[in-house]
Structure 1
Amino acid sequence: MRTLLLVQLVTIITLFSTAQAKPAYTADQQAFLDAEKALRQGKQQEYQKLKKGLAHYSLLPYLEYQEIQDNLNKNSQQQVDDFINKYESSPLSGRLRWDFIRELAKSKNYALLEQYYPFGAVASYDCQILNHQLEKGKPIKELSEQIANLWNVSKSQPKECDKVFEKWIDNNQLQQEIAYQRFYQTAHEGPIGLLNYLKRYLPRDEQYLADLWLKVRRNPKVVTRSNFFPGKKPNKEAPILVYAVKRLAWGDREDAYSAWKRTQSRIPLAGAHKSDVERTLFLALATQNNPKAVDMAKDKLKDQLDDELVNHWKLVTFLRTQDWQSITQLYELLPFDQQSSEQWRYWYAVALDELGQKEEAKILLTELANERDYYGYKAAIRTKQPILLNHAPLIIPEEVMQSVRKSANVERARELYAIGRYLDATREWRSLLNQLKTPEEFQAAAVIANEWGWYNQSILTIARAQVWDDTDIRFPTAFKEDYIKMGKQIQLPPHWLMGVARQESAYGPRAVSPAGAYGLMQVMPNTAKAFARKFQIPYSHRSDLLDPSINIQMGSRYLQMRYEELEQNPVYASAAYNAGKSRIEEWKKYGRYPTEVWIEAIPYTETRDYIKRVMTYRQVYALKLGLDDDIFEYILTTETGDKK
C-alpha cells in the first residue's frame, strides 16, 4: 500500500494557473501584485513606493528577483551573489543562478561561467567550457575522460561539441572500448542515423554487425530467416539476436518463441543473455495468457526469484490454472521481503486453504484483515471480519508546529498559494521538504498544507513522514457534497467517484498530469468539450477543469459512460478510466476467471495497481462517509472476462 501510494504521487504535477474567480486579497497581497504590475510596466516611481511598503513581506524576494532578472548581464555578479546568499533557502536562489549561467554562456564569459556552472548538467555548456580550456592551452589528455563521457551517449550531442570531439578523435584519444560502448548503446536505444555514423569506428571486419543491427532495428522479424546470421563473429552477433527476440516478443509472441528455439543453438549465448530473453518471452506469453507460459513458469520455478515482476506472472499463471501447490512452493522460495508483502501473504493463505490447510490459512488471513489495504480488505471478507479504517490522528508537539509554520519557505508558499501562484508555491514547498529532518517536522508540514486545502501536497508530505494512519489527511473529504449530488444523478456510489479522484490527482483540484489531464478527476480537454455539449456542463477553456464542480461532473460522467459500455462492471469501468476502453476489450479476450484473478492478470502494471488502489480508496471513502459498500464482496464472488 505504501509503495503504491508513492508510485502514484510521483505521477502528479501541479498546474500553475487557476480557473476560480479572484479571491479577496490581503493588503500585502494586493500591494505585491500591484508592485509586480508597476515593475512590468516600467513605472519605477510607483514600483519603488510599493516595494518600500513591502519591506517585511515574505514575497519581497520575488520582486527583487524580477528586478535583477530584468537587467541581468555578464556584469551582474555582485547582485547575483548577494541575492543567492540572502535567499539561500528559496528556489529563487537556484533559478537566478541558472539565469546568470545562461547569460554568461550567451556572452561567452567562460572564465566566470566555470565558477557558477555545475559541470555535467548541460552538454552544450560542458562542450563550450572544454573548448575554452583547450583554446587556453590545456592538454587534451587531461580532458580526455570528460570528453569521452560526453561522446559516449546513445544520442547526437549539440553542435557546440563538434570541435571538441574532432580534436579529441584527431589526437587518438578515442579508445576502441569506448567506441564499442557507444555503438552498442546506440544499437539498443539510439537513433538509426547515429548507428550508421558510428559504423566507421568499428574494425572493418566487424562493420557488417552495424548492417545487421540496422535491419533488426527496422524489422526484428528478420531474425526468423534461417540465413540471417552469417556466424562470422557469433559472440558479437548474439546481442542482435537477444534484442530482436525481446522486441519481437511484444509483437508476435509465437514468432519470437519459434525464432528463439530455432536460433539459440547456432548463436552462443552467455547465461545472462539467455536469462534476459527467457524472462521477456515468459512475461510476453504470460500477459497474453499463452499456454506456453504455464510450462515456462513450472520449468523455471526456482529462477529469477529476486525479480518481483517475474514472480507476479508466475503467480498469475498458477492462479489461472488453479495450481495451488505450485503457488505454495514458489512462496517458500521467495526472498523474505516478497514473502512479507500483502499480496504474497494473501495468496499463500488462499493456496493453503484450497489445499485443505484451513486453520493455518485462517490464522494468516485473520492477521492480514487488520490492514487497510486491498489484500487486507479481501482477507476481511474471506474471514467475515469487519473492514477497518484504522484512523490514528497525528499528535505533533506545538513547538514543532510553530517552528515549521514560521519557516520562510512556508510563509512564502502560503502567500503564493493564496494568490494562485501554484508553480512557485510548489517550488517553495519542495525546498521546505529538502530542509526538514525529523518525522514530526514532515507531519507538521502535512497538517499545514491540509489546512490550506492543498490536499495533494499534504498527501505527498505525510508520505515523506512515513505515516499512514491519519486518514483525515491521507483521504480528505473536501467537495463531498458535490460527489454525493453527482452520485445521485448518475446512480454511482459517491465514494467510488471520490476514490477515483484520490487516485487520479491525490485529491488535487489543480493537478495536471504530464499527458495534459486536468483537475481532481484528471479530465482531458477533448473529453470535456464533448461532455460539455452532451450534458450541458459549462465549459469554455481547459482551465475550467480546475473548478472542482465542473471537473467532478466531467469525470463522473466519463466513469458512468465506461460503466454502461462495459457491462456495468466496476472493475472494467475503473480500468478503462486509466487505460481506455479498447484495452479492456482486448484483455477480456484472455479468458474468464474469478474477478480477483482477472485483476491480478491485467497486463499493465500501472493499470493493475490502479485498480487495486481505486477499489481500496472506494472502500475507505465509504467508511468515511458512513456508507455501505460491497465492492470487495463483488471482487470475491464474481467472474470477469470473456469465455474462450
Structure 2
Amino acid sequence: MLKGVYLQRAGRVACVALSCMLLAGSAFAQKRPQPQAAVIPGNPDDAFTALREAARKNDADRANALSATLVDYPIPSYVEYFRIKPQLFDASGLARVDAPDDQVRAFLQRYQGDAIADRMRNDWLLVLGKRHDWNGFDAEYPKFVLKDDTQVECYALLSRVLKGQDVSAQARSTLTDPRYYGEGCVDLIGTLAQGRQMSAADVAYQARLALEQNYVTLAGKIAATLPAPGADGDTLAMVVKMARNDPRQAAAYLAASGAGLSPEQLGAAWGVVGQFAAKKLMPEAVDYYRRQLSLGGNQWLSDDTQEWRVRAALRQGDWSMVRQAIEQMRPELRAKDPAWTYWYGRALKAAGRNDEAQQQFQSIAGQFNFYGQLANEELGNRTVVPPRATVSDADVDSMRARPGFLRAQKFYDLNLRFEGNREWNWELRGMTDRQLLAAAEYARRIELLDRAVNTADRTQAEHDFSLRFLMPYRDLMQRATDDVGLDLAWAYGLIRQESRFIMNARSSAGAHGLMQVMPATARYVARKIGMADFSPSMMGDPNINIVLGTNYLNMVFTDLDSSYTLASAGYNAGPGRPKNWRSSLPRAVEGAIFAETIPFSETRGYVKNVLSNATYYAALMSGRPQSLKARLGTIAPSTVTATNLP
C-alpha cells in the first residue's frame, strides 16, 4: 500500500538533466502539522473514531492521549494498533527508522493470526526495509499473509539482490505500476542499476512509466538513480510531456527529426504519442501506433500504451491491428484481463480463423463477467442463471460467532467500512463455496447487503445468484421504475454498482445513498418533478433516493437516445461526455467497442459492470436467457448537442 510521497535518495547531490527537469519546482521539505488541542471525546465510540483519525495522520501524541481513555474498549487490538502505528511513520507517511520494535513484536505475538496483525506486519516491514535491517525483514516477510504491498515486495527483492541473487526478472514483473512504488521501489531500482541487473534503458523506462502517469517527482527520483542518464532519456521525457498536452505537436516533432532516437526508442516514443492520442479519441492514434509497430520497441511500452493500442484499433475497426497488438502484449498483461482474450477471438474470427476463435471464447465463456458473457454469446448461447446452491440454517448460524465477523459488525456500526471490510474479508479466507454462501446469507440476514453480494461473488463452483444480485426495496423500485417507464433490471444493475445497496453510502464527491445522487442533481430533479418540500437531508430516505435517482436516470436515458450504454456512461461521468465521445466515432460501432474505448477508466469499468449486472438481473426476474449484446446495442456517431442535465 502506498505510504505517501517519497524521499530523495540519501547522499545524492548531483543533478542530471532528466532528474533536474522533472524535479524542478518540487518542494521536498515536509511541514509537520500544528498540534491539535487535546480534546478527548467523552463517548468511547467517538474517542475511538478520533483515535483512528489521529493514527491516519500519524499524530503519535494525540493517539497516545486518546488510547489511554479506551482501556476497556471492545476492540482492544485496534486501540493498540492505532496507538503504535503513528510511531512507525512520520507526518508525511514515510517509515521511521526509530520505530518501537519491542511494542510491535509484542503486538504481533498477542494478536497472531488476526487481520490487524497482518496489517501491523505490513507496516513494520516497511520500517525494516527503510532501515535496511535485512535479518529482521527476512524473518518477518514469510509471515506476511496478504503480500499486497508493492513497496514491501520491492524491499523483499532488494534483500535478495544484496545477497548476490539475480532478481531482474522478478523486478520486471513487480515494477509495472508507479502508483505503488514508494521509497522501497526507488531504492530497488537504484541498487539494480548499480549492480548492472537493470540497464540505463530500463531505468529510463521506469522514469517514463511514472511520467506517463504524471508522477513527475517520482520520475525525477528514479532518473536520479543513474549517475549520467543519456540524452535519449531527456528526449523521451520531453515527448511524454508534449504528448500529454498535444499529441499532434509531439507527432510532428518526431516525424520531422526522429528526435535523434534509436529505432527502438523512436518506436517507444510513437507508442506514447499513440497512447495519449487514443485517450483523446483522436483518429490519428492508429497511424501513430502503426509507426510504433513498424519500428518495434515493444518491450519499452507501458501497460497503458499496450492496452490503448488495442482500443485505438477497435475504434477504427482495424481487426488485423487488433490481433497484432494483442499478440505483442506483455503476456502477464494479456492474461490479466479477459477483455484481451475476447477481442483476440473476435480478431481471429474476422480473419476467418473460426476454430481458433472458438477456442479463445471457450476459455473465458464460463466467467460471470462482461467478457465472459460476450464470449458465451459468440458460442451461440445467452446469459442464464446457474443452478442455485442452498445452505441450511445451521450453516448460517455457524457464522454468527466468528470473531472477524463480530469485529466487522462493530466497525459497520461505527460506519468504519474500511476496517469492517478488512475484518470481514480476512474471515472469508480459505472458506469453501458452501461456507461462503452461508456467510453471504448471514450477511443478508443482518442487513449487511454489500457483504452478502461481495461474499456470494467469491464462489467458484456452487452459486446463489439471488445473493449475488440482491433485490432489496423491491416494491419501491418497481413502483419508481414503472412510474417513469424504466427497465427495473437496469436500475438494479446500476445500484449494485453504485452503492452495493449501502443506504448511507457517500462518495468523496458528495454523492449520496443507494443511487449515489449528487446534491445539486437531487435538487434539479426534485424541482423538475414538483417535489416542492425537498431538502438534501431527505436523500437518506430510500424512497426519496430511489424516486429521484430513477427519475434522473430516465432523464439521462432519454437525453442519450434511449441507449443503455450511453446512459450508463452518462450517469457516471455526466451526460455531456458520452455525447463528446460518440461525436468522434468514425462509424457506427457495437456497444462493446464503445464501452471498451471510453477514455475514463472508472467509467469504462462502470459501464461494463452495470450492463453485465443488468443482464443477470433480467435473467433472474424473467427466468429466461438474456442477451448482453442486445442490451449494449450499437452506437452511431452524431454531432454534439448541448444538454440541460447536470
Give the TM-score range, shorter chain: 0.5 to 0.7
Tell me which residue corresponds to 1:118. Answer: 87
Structure 1 counterpart SS, 2:245: coil
Closer/same/farther in 2, CA of residues 287 and 502 from structure 1, 3 Å limit: same
1:603 maps onto 2:618 in alignment: no
Could you tell me which of 495, 505, 512 is aligned with 1:518?
512
Aligned mates of 1:442, 1:523 — CA distance in 2: 32
User: C-alpha displacement at 1:254, in angstroms?
Assistant: 1.0
Structure 2 counterpart SS, 1:250: helix
- For 1:130-155, what per-residue CA distance to the aligned partner results, in whole angstroms no more than 9, with x for missing partners? 9xxxxxxxxxxxxxx88xxxxxxxxx
Closer/same/farther in 2, CA of residues 404 and 631 from structure 1, 3 Å limit: closer
Could you tell me which of 445, 449, 457 is aligned with 1:455?
449
Contact 1:372 1:388 in 2 (8 A): no
Gaps of 5+ in 1: 1-38, 43-60, 99-115, 131-144, 147-180, 203-232
Give the 5 Å matches for 1:476-555.
Answer: 476-537=470-531, 540-555=534-549
Contact 1:594 1:638 in 2 (8 A): yes
Amino acid at match of 1:558: Y
Aligned mates of 2:498, 2:594 — CA distance in 1: 22
Aligned mates of 1:84, 1:464 — CA distance in 2: 37
Amino acid at match of 2:289: A
1:385 maps onto 2:385 in alignment: no
- For 1:590-633, what per-residue CA distance to the aligned partner results, in whole angstroms no more than 9, with x for missing partners? 21332232222222222222111111111111111117797634
Tell me which residue corresponds to 2:349. Answer: 353
- For 1:284-315, what per-residue CA distance to the aligned partner results, in whole angstroms no more than 9, with x for missing partners? 22234444432343344465478543333222
- For 1:78-106, what per-residue CA distance to the aligned partner results, in whole angstroms no more than 9, with x for missing partners? 995796698566534434x27xxxxxxxx
Amino acid at match of 1:120: F
Contact 1:462 1:468 in 2 (8 A): no
**Higher RCO structure, 1 or 2 (CA under 8 Å, sep 6+):** 1
Aligned mates of 2:368, 2:474 — CA distance in 1: 21
TM-score, scaled to structure 1? 0.61
User: C-alpha displacement at 1:416, in angstroms?
Assistant: 7.0
Amino acid at match of 1:122: A
Aligned mates of 1:587, 1:447 — CA distance in 2: 41
- For 1:229-284, what per-residue CA distance to the aligned partner results, in whole angstroms no more than 9, with x for missing partners? xxxx9957765544443233233221122234446635x68977x66643331112
Structure 2 counterpart SS, 1:625: helix
Could you tell me which of 320, 323, 327 is aligned with 1:325?
320
Contact 1:538 1:550 in 2 (8 A): no
User: C-alpha displacement at 1:186, in angstroms?
Assistant: 12
Aligned mates of 1:531, 1:88 — CA distance in 2: 43
Aligned mates of 2:401, 2:421 — CA distance in 1: 13
Structure 2 counterpart SS, 1:622: helix
Aligned mates of 1:190, 1:386 — CA distance in 2: 47
User: C-alpha displacement at 1:496, in angstroms?
Assistant: 0.7
Tell me which residue corresponds to 1:312. Answer: 307
**Greater shift in the superposed pair: 632-641 or 450-459:** 632-641
Tell me which residue corresponds to 1:101. Answer: none
Aligned mates of 2:536, 2:621 — CA distance in 1: 31
Rg larger in structure = 1
Tell me which residue corresponds to 1:582. Answer: 576
Contact 2:556 2:571 in 1 (8 A): yes
Tell me which residue corresponds to 1:473. Answer: 467
- For 1:409-468, what per-residue CA distance to the aligned partner results, in whole angstroms no more than 9, with x for missing partners? 544654675xxx441476345335446642246655433222222212333445577789
Contact 2:437 2:464 in 1 (8 A): no
Aligned mates of 1:257, 1:486 — CA distance in 2: 52
Aligned mates of 1:612, 1:125 — CA distance in 2: 37
Closer/same/farther in 2, CA of residues 442 and 88 from structure 1, 3 Å limit: farther
Closer/same/farther in 2, CA of residues 340 and 512 from structure 1, 3 Å limit: closer
Tell me which residue corresponds to 1:624. Answer: 620
Structure 2 counterpart SS, 1:439: coil
Aligned mates of 1:269, 1:93 — CA distance in 2: 57
Closer/same/farther in 2, CA of residues 523 and 64 from structure 1, 3 Å limit: closer
Amino acid at match of 1:386: R
Aligned mates of 2:546, 2:459 — CA distance in 1: 30
Closer/same/farther in 2, CA of residues 394 and 383 from structure 1, 3 Å limit: same
RMSD: 4.9
Tell me which residue corresponds to 2:340. Answer: 344
Contact 1:459 1:506 in 2 (8 A): yes
Give the 5 Å matches for 1:195-214.
Answer: none
Structure 2 counterpart SS, 1:508: coil
Aligned mates of 1:342, 1:490 — CA distance in 2: 36
Tell me which residue corresponds to 2:637. Answer: 641
User: C-alpha displacement at 1:474, in angstroms?
Assistant: 2.0
Could you tell me which of 282, 286, 289 is aligned with 1:297?
289
Give the 5 Å matches for 1:354-369.
Answer: 354-362=350-358, 364-365=360-361, 368-369=364-365
User: C-alpha displacement at 1:349, in angstroms?
Assistant: 2.6
Could you tell me which of 91, 105, 110 is aligned with 2:78?
91
Amino acid at match of 2:503: P
Closer/same/farther in 2, CA of residues 476 and 539 from structure 1, 3 Å limit: farther
Contact 2:283 2:316 in 1 (8 A): no
Closer/same/farther in 2, CA of residues 307 and 493 from structure 1, 3 Å limit: same
Aligned mates of 1:126, 1:358 — CA distance in 2: 55
Contact 2:89 2:95 in 1 (8 A): yes
Closer/same/farther in 2, CA of residues 432 and 278 from structure 1, 3 Å limit: same
Contact 1:90 1:409 in 2 (8 A): no
Tell me which residue corresponds to 2:145. Answer: none
**Greater shift in the superposed pair: 499-508 or 598-607:** 598-607
- For 1:99-133, what per-residue CA distance to the aligned partner results, in whole angstroms no more than 9, with x for missing partners? xxxxxxxxxxxxxxxxx753324249989989xxx
Aligned mates of 2:285, 2:51 — CA distance in 1: 63
1:405 maps onto 2:400 in alignment: yes
**Greater shift in the superposed pair: 507-516 or 519-528:** 507-516
User: C-alpha displacement at 1:503, in angstroms?
Assistant: 1.1
- For 1:532-582, what per-residue CA distance to the aligned partner results, in whole angstroms no more than 9, with x for missing partners? 122134764434222221111121111111122122222111111111122
Closer/same/farther in 2, CA of residues 443 and 361 from structure 1, 3 Å limit: same
**Greater shift in the superposed pair: 502-511 or 295-304:** 295-304
Amino acid at match of 2:319: W
Closer/same/farther in 2, CA of residues 537 and 455 from structure 1, 3 Å limit: farther
Aligned mates of 1:552, 1:480 — CA distance in 2: 11
- For 1:503-536, what per-residue CA distance to the aligned partner results, in whole angstroms no more than 9, with x for missing partners? 1112222211121111111100111111112213
Contact 1:286 1:293 in 2 (8 A): yes
Amino acid at match of 1:483: M
Structure 2 counterpart SS, 1:265: helix
Closer/same/farther in 2, CA of residues 424 and 587 from structure 1, 3 Å limit: closer
1:438 maps onto 2:407 in alignment: no
Aligned mates of 1:67, 1:300 — CA distance in 2: 53
Closer/same/farther in 2, CA of residues 635 and 258 from structure 1, 3 Å limit: farther
Q: What fraction of aligned residue pairs are identical, expressed as a percent?
A: 23
Gaps of 5+ in 2: 1-39, 53-59, 100-129, 132-205, 641-646
Amino acid at match of 1:311: Q
